[in-house]
Amino acid sequence: MPSQGMMKAALQAYVDGLNRGDAEAVIALFAENAVIEDPVGTPPKRGREIADWFHQAVAMQARLTPVAPVRGSHGNAAALAFIVTTEWEGQRISIHSLDTCTFNGAGKIVELKGYWGPEDMEA
């Protein structure tokens, strides 16, 4: 099982990678068999879809601002509460989100779930 420090460092690297526009650094945090459901209720992304999604996020100038410290758990999961600011349909928007991530023993993310809904978006 990954340590709390490992998981928290991975989520900080996720924030840092997106904020500097480095999709490849973010993609490298995920295991090959990873699944992303963001937002929850949309079709899961796997493999190449994950890489494409992060390249699109960088193209949309997504920037993350954590609103609380990364939270660990008594298991192999951690959570990050943040505001993402990005370009969407020609305007700058902010989304209040919470990501939960499950990790494998090597500290790679195997599952990411993003919790946010229409009421969590603002122009």
DSSP H or E stretch at residue 93: strand 91-103
- Helix intervals (H) in 21-66: 23-27, 48-59
The answer on pLDDT for 38 being more than 90 is yes
Check if 38 is active-site: yes
Check if 14 is active-site: yes
The answer on pLDDT for 87 being more than 90 is no
- What is the count of structural domains for the chain? 1
Task: Judge whether 15 lies within some domain.
Answer: yes
Whether residue 15 contacts residue 66, with contact meaning beta carbons closer than 8 Å, is answered with: yes
Q: What pTM, to 2 d.p., does this model score? A: 0.94
Report the pLDDT value the prediction gives residue 22, as an integer from 0 to 100. 98
The answer on pLDDT for 10 being more than 90 is yes
Find the CATH number of the domain harbouring 68.
3.10.450.50
Q: How big is the chain by its Cα radius of gyration, in Å? A: 14
Give me the domain span that covers residue 74: 4-117
The rounded distance, in Å, linking the Cα atoms of 20 and 43 is: 27
Task: Judge whether 102 lies within some domain.
Answer: yes
Selecting among 16, 22, 38, 115, the annotated active-site residue is 38
